[in-house]
Structures are given as structure tokens and as C-alpha cells.
Structure 1
């Protein structure tokens, strides 16, 4: 017989994460548990798919706050489906494409100078002739993303 709910140890083992990670995810509002009569955490079986999605998001560099914001818009009364994943992955795709473009540009130009964000370097004729970036204020200029 398959149990309807899993203990925290079972979830940790099946998801391949330490128990402390589950506590952290719960504290951040990414996952939820209920308490048994003995005050032990119990998780629905669908939590394993949710944890897998959280981990994929983390591995691709998506901040936990953004992962949570996206998950909060999905139904909480059932396990996540492939349709839910299609929505999440579609929303994350543009951010990942932007990050890939930025990292590719950085990789391709890294040995040309110092990765050249040109923080007011006076003698960079390629990226910052005449120290023109100084007039734009602090911070790197060449590798800004759309959100900067």
C-alpha cells in the first residue's frame, strides 16, 4: 500500500536533499506541510515534483523569491502537472535567454580586456574612449541587462 503522505525523512531521501533544505524551503514559503497528531511534518506525495521544480529553477540561477512568486500563482490544491511546468518554464525562458546572452558576451570578450564593464578606465579605446563612461555614473556599463 502506498502512503498518502510522506515523512520529512522520506521526502529528503526521495528528493535527494538534506532535511535542512526542506526546513529552509518551508520557511521561505516554497513548500508546505501539515503537522500530525504527534507534531511531525507530513507532506503530500506531490511535494516531490514541487521540490524537483524548485531545484531545477535554482540550478538555472533563478532566485528563490522569483520561484516562489511563480509557484504562488499555481493551484495549491493538487500536485503540479506538466501543464503547470509548461507555464513555469515558459515564464523563465526569457530570463534564461537574457542570462545566456550576457554570459556568452562576457565569455567572448573576457580576454580582450578585463571583461570590460569599464568602470571609468581612462585608457580603454575599445569600450571607454576618453573615459566617457564616468559621466554615466557608477557601475559597469558594457554588460548591463534589461533590468539594470
Structure 2
């Protein structure tokens, strides 16, 4: 490995832990999940790239937003391993995740607006269900709380 590559991939697991706030065990877990791929020096010790700080920070933020490890791995697979990701690289991932977040926000707003009314679950126990879901017409769309899942009462 060229000398400058060693300099760029020279952070220890302790240094990465200090910069990210993650425990070394969490960093090793993310390595096992192929979210970061450290090199090994001649002594077998892990050496991380500076860009791994950004990768791990992205993992922490993404998990906080409800993305799974598999979804995060898929997003990070598009990033280069041996160079710092560019602004364009991160923008591409952000657009993809942004679409998912927009859909989740829309679903949560729909849920919030229906919390005190009919949610299309088919129970027909609320007086308002006779207005929103007469004769359980929401069931024609399938199982579950249809209106929370995105169906509208005027669609049925």
C-alpha cells in the first residue's frame, strides 16, 4: 500500500471511537455488517480512513431516522471505499433517503389527523365510523387500518 494511503487510513479504532462517540464494540459490529472496511497494519491492528468517521456518523443518523442496517448498507455500497466521498456522492444518497422520509412524514401526518376518528380498521365501534366507513367499505381495499396505510375514505 502506498505511503499516502497509509496516512489516509491510519486512524485507530480508539481514535474513530473518540471522534464518533461510538463504542469500539459498535464500530466492530458495523465492520461485521460491512458498513466500514478498515485495513490492517503489519501487526494486524485495524486502521480506518478519515472518511469512515463520516460513514459511521451517517449510520448513526440513519438508524436514528428508522432506517435498517440493510437499507444503510445498500446506500453506502454506492460510495467509494478508497477515497473520501464527494458532495455529489452524499447528495445522491440524501435524495434517496429524502424520498423515504417524505413518505414516512406523510404517513405520520395522516395518522395524526385520524387519531381521534375512524382509521378504516373495520371495527365499526365508533359513531363516526358510520360517516367515514359505512358498512365497512374500507375492507374492500384489504386488511389493516386502511386509512392510516394511505387509503382515503373518498377513494372507496
Greater shift in the superposed pair: 95-104 or 52-61? 52-61
Task: Answer yes or no: is the 8 Å Cα contact 1:6–1:45 preserved in 2.
Answer: yes
Deviation beyond 6 Å, 4+ runs, structure 1: none
Query: In 2, distance between residues paired with 1:34 and 1:110?
Result: 51
Greater shift in the superposed pair: 86-95 or 132-141? 132-141
Task: Answer yes or no: is the 8 Å Cα contact 2:122–2:139 preserved in 1.
Answer: yes
Between structures 1 and 2, the one with greater helix share: 2
How many residue pairs are counted as aligned between the two chains? 141
1:111 equivalent in structure 2: 116
For 1:1-148, what aligned pairs fall within 5 Å after superposition?
A: 4=8, 5-113=10-118, 116=119, 118-123=120-125, 124-144=129-149
**Could you tell me how far 1:28 is from its partner in structure 2?**
1.2
> What residue ranges of structure 2 are gaps of 5+ in the alignment?
1-6, 152-156
> What residue ranges of structure 1 are gaps of 5+ in the alignment?
none
Q: Which SS does the other structure have where 1:144 is aligned?
A: coil
Query: In 2, distance between residues paired with 1:74 and 1:126?
Result: 51
Pair 9,81 (structure 1): closer, same or farther in 2 beyond 3 Å: same
* RMSD after superposition: 2.1
Task: Answer yes or no: is the 8 Å Cα contact 1:33–1:42 preserved in 2.
Answer: yes
**Could you tell me how far 1:138 is from its partner in structure 2?**
2.9
| Deviation by residue 1:27-50 (Cα, 9 ceiling, x = unmatched) | 111111122333222111211111
Task: Answer yes or no: is the 8 Å Cα contact 2:139–2:146 preserved in 1.
Answer: no
Task: Answer yes or no: is the 8 Å Cα contact 2:36–2:52 preserved in 1.
Answer: yes
**TM-score, normalising length: structure 1:** 0.82
